[in-house]
Amino acid sequence: MTGTALGAAPVWIWPFWAFEGRGHLRFILRRLAFYVVAAWAAITVNFFIPRLMPGNAVQVLLGKYPSLPPDAARTLSIEFGLGHQGSLLHQYWAYLGNILQGNLGISVGEYPAKVTTVLSQTVPWTLALVGTATVLSFVLGTGLGMLAAWRRGGRLDQALPGFTFLQATPYFFIALLSIEIFSVNLHWFPYGGGYSLGLVPSWNWTFISSAIVHSILPATTIVLTSFAGWMLQMRNVMITTIGEDYVLAAQAKGLSSRRIIFTYAARNAMLPNIAGFALAIGFVVAGALVMEIVFSYPGVGLTLYNAVTNDDFPLLQGIFLTISFAVLLASLLADVVYVLADPRTRTQEAY
């Protein structure tokens, strides 16, 4: 049975030498080849979409600075790589070369800067906020799902519809409501932003404490509107797992409830959540767009919104490409984790 096969070691510390036979390696290599093709497709689509849209970054920049001389258009086209130098195929190969060199172009925002520079200033904010909130949601939802399934029909299980109602509620509404209650009326937390005005980002406690205070409401909003999904999935799978023969045998042996829950039932029931968590981590880079706009949080979501409103095509390309790579990497990680965690995949017949 599944539980017996997993009884030797927890899934979260399963060693990489657990691959048994060449079938597992072939499976991973096939998945890796698929993701390489998917990455190439993402890069290609990312190249062609801005070129199919009317206008370009040069026209946007010339519109912002009408006093520039006419020759500036050609110079800017060469600088941004969006001009019509050579054929489309030549531009495509040049774009691929820039990608391999880590050159994502130049943003034409309020102050022109390299896209990589803009991303390096915004991605850490999203990773810290949305990443932490995603982990908390996963841990809280999975833990509560275990308890709700083990004590089926109890108070926690009966409260699940209320938790799912929170998940169904748009989190921009929860965000606005939390600002009204905790910022406007109670003055417990700031209205928005990543840190207090007048501070310079640095590794000192004054700035870090300010950033933590500013992140509490956005993080709480994400947790409240997402943990119920993990809880519901864990509860449903856990209920099915509890009815398995190996769990009933463990109960008949007189083992403690704690050991039965974590050693026998939860370890197998967590497999769908583990795969979902890996994918959720990939979408962390995308940020919570509406949440970051509501709280004016300086993450990828707000940067993406500003790029759309400013017709900043190079920055849009860089953000979309970063999100695509993050999701593909997380999907590959989910496949690897599933092969390591689920013994049913460690057979030649599984492939």
pLDDT tens digits along 192-237: 888 888 888 888 888 889 989 998 998 888 888 888 888 888 888 8
Listed in sequence order, the residues at least 6 apart from 318 whose beta carbon sits closer than 8 Å to its beta carbon are: 104, 105, 107, 115, 116, 118, 119
What range defines the domain where residue 121 resides? 2-350
% of the chain residues with pLDDT over 70: 78
Tell me the β-bridge partners of 114: 106
Quick one: tokens of 64?
């912002």
pLDDT band at 55 (very low <50, low <70, confident <90, very high): low
At residue 155, the pLDDT reads: 85
How far CA 318 is from CA of 42, 78, 304, 321, 323, in Å, comes to 11, 18, 10, 5, 9
- The whole-number average pLDDT for the span 273-279 is 76
- The whole-number average pLDDT for the span 118-124 is 89
Quick one: tokens of 273?
């959540």
- The whole-number average pLDDT for the span 43-68 is 73
Among 10, 28, 30, residue whose Cα is nearest residue 345: 28
pLDDT band at 40 (very low <50, low <70, confident <90, very high): very high
How far CA 312 is from CA of 60, 133, 134, in Å, comes to 8, 29, 29
- The whole-number average pLDDT for the span 156-181 is 84
**Statement: residue 85 has pLDDT above 50:** yes
Quick one: tokens of 118?
């803009």
Which of the pair, 59 or 240, is modelled with greater confidence? 240
How high is the mean pLDDT of the chain? 78
**69-73, 220-224, 249-253, 259-263: which has the highest mean pLDDT?**
220-224
64-69 contact pairs (CB < 8 A, 24+): 64/108
- The whole-number average pLDDT for the span 293-305 is 86
**Statement: residue 4 has pLDDT above 50:** no
**pLDDT, tens digit, 9 for 90 and up, residues 59-73:** 666 676 677 676 766
**Residue 4 C-alpha from the chain's centroid:** 33
Please count the helices (runs of H) and the strands (runs of E) in the chain.
19, 2
At residue 2, the pLDDT reads: 42
At residue 278, the pLDDT reads: 72
**Going along the chain, which residue ranges are E strands?**
106-107, 113-114
% of the chain residues with pLDDT over 90: 2
CATH code of residue 34: 1.10.3720.10
**Statement: residue 8 has pLDDT above 50:** no
**Statement: residue 5 has pLDDT above 50:** no
What's the domain count of the chain?
Answer: 1
For 34, phi and psi rounded to 5 degrees? Answer: -60, -45
- The whole-number average pLDDT for the span 27-54 is 83
Residue that the structure tokens 């119920």 belong to: 228
At residue 37, the pLDDT reads: 92
